[in-house]
Amino acid sequence: MSSSLQTRTIPQLVAMKSQGEKLVVLTAYDYPSARLVDAAGVDAILVGDSLGMVVQGKPNTLAVSLDQMIYHAEMVARAAEHAVVVVDMPFPTFHLEKYRAVENAARCFQEAGVQAVKLEGGVERVDVIRAIVDAGMPVMAHIGLMPQSVHKMGGYRVQRDRDRLLEDAHAVEAAGAFSLVLECIPVDDAKEVTDAIGIPTIGIGAGPECDGQVLVFHDLLGLTPGRVPRHVKAYADLKTTITDAVCQFSNEVRENIFPNQDQSFQ
């Protein structure tokens, strides 16, 4: 890893908004991926409950457990030397009541070694956010499309209730959240929210006016099977690269080309 990379902190991420610096956030779910992402100089690594879909192959995020999140987050936190590591609190670890939410958040800090937790919800999660922050644990909030509420929202749809978005944004900021993910909302609404609050916004499907952007590791690298969401940009085609490499290996084994003398011991 480059020694020139700056080690990020929560206050530094917050300050980047007023300094006009864009925040770069990427997901990671294991040690080798996190090492690569960290060495590339991202500001924060999100251990997202999206692992339920991109790692476990499930249809949504709802079945991911707290133990699973901690398991993956511990690997990522151990790999990261520069980036702030944030872990998603999975459903329903912060829905039942605020004291249990504080206890569940504390497990993420104690057992995984992360610097922040992320949870979905706006006005309805104010008490939980405030309780976790009051306990000394930074919180990244998340509004707009909330994958844990996919059934309530009727699917993965763009969220267009401007007044509710603004109300939620002000509420989570007042509760002490240090940043706010805006997922799948119109560009103009994302800009209005970003301009209206003092904490940085991090967009995913929310246009270029947010204070930063986040993508899923597998989406960015072109590893996602099937349909890719509109807001995703693949910066590589590793799906093809990996498939071609495995096919070449298979052919060489079947044709007795691999291993040759260079890969054998005498």
- Which token pair is 261? 């003398």
Q: Which helix (H) or strand (E) holds 26?
A: strand 23-27
167 is catalytic: no
d(CA 23, CA 14) in angstroms, rounded, equals: 9
Composition of the chain by helix, strand, coil, percent to 5: 45, 15, 40
- Residues whose CB is less than 8 angstroms from the CB of residue 107 and which lie 6 or more positions away in sequence, other chains included: 66, 70
Q: Which residues pair with residue 116 across a beta bridge?
A: 86
d(CA 92, CA 249) in angstroms, rounded, equals: 44
- Residues whose CB is less than 8 angstroms from the CB of residue 204 and which lie 6 or more positions away in sequence, other chains included: 181, 182, 183, 184, 213, 214, 215, 231
Question: In 50-138, at which residue ranges do the beta strands (DSSP E only) sit?
Answer: 84-88, 116-120
Contact 118, 88 (CB under 8 A): yes
Q: Which of 21, 183, 192, 255 is catalytic?
A: 183
d(CA 215, CA 46) in angstroms, rounded, equals: 9
Task: Determine the residue type at 144.
Answer: G
Catalytic residues: 183
